[in-house]
Amino acid sequence: MQEIIQTITVIALPVIFAITLHEAAHGYVARAFGDNTAYMEGRVSLNPVRHIDPVGTLLVPAAIMIMSHLSGGPAMLFGWAKPVPVNFGNLRNPKRDMRWVAAAGPAANLFMAVGWALILKLLIISGNQEIFFFEMAKAGIMVNLVLMALNLLPLPPLDGGRIMFSVLPHRMAWQFAKIEPYGMIIVLALFFFGVLNVFIQPLIYLGLRLIQFFFGI
């Protein structure tokens, strides 16, 4: 149990920042393209409380960590935040602008992964020996890369699905959109059958390689 508490302590801040900026970025870009829905509901905010889902953000990841600890196997954290409300019909060009609104979340996570990498590099340069901050910075990189990769899966209602809808020809896009009611069921099935990692690992690996190349860490 002490190991679980230590892990939660290390990843808590990176996870809170990751989901908060991810969701706020969607709302901010939606507003920039003409939809004020998220802004009117107070979701264009850096207040984590506005974005945390009690089940998806807290209970599910905690349960996964506990089960992983009891089984002795590796844990791939999985969860979700409250989705930012976006009325795509309010966007100036709904089908085109949808891609930018959707891409804002993963882009925010990539930006944060780079930020945590910069912090880790500064810790190394400064000779800081505090292991807690090293572990938090490394967790910040991984949490954000995982969240970015997961959301870029081309399945609606994930961000990757919205981007895919935006770039497909109209007829194909509307056929593709019919998957949406089953999108999260598919994602959960991929996770529980242990194959989700196969789809997101290449993006995570690419992100880590780029960080290694630019920061030498």
Contacts of 188 (CB under 8 A, 6+ apart): none
Active site residues: 23
pLDDT in tens, 27-65: 999 999 999 999 898 888 888 888 888 887 777 777 777
> Confidence class of residue 76 from pLDDT cuts 50, 70 and 90?
low
Please tell me the distance from the alpha carbon of residue 164 to that of residue 71, in angstroms, as a whole number: 37
Please tell me the distance from the alpha carbon of residue 80 to that of residue 53, in angstroms, as a whole number: 7
Lowest mean pLDDT among 48-57, 115-124, 148-157: 48-57
Tokens in use for 144? 């954000």
Question: In the chain, pLDDT over 70 holds for what percent of residues?
Answer: 92
Q: Is 194 left (phi over 0), alpha (psi -120 to 50) or beta?
A: left
- Distance of CA 173 to CAs 47, 86, 156, 169, Å? 34, 18, 11, 6
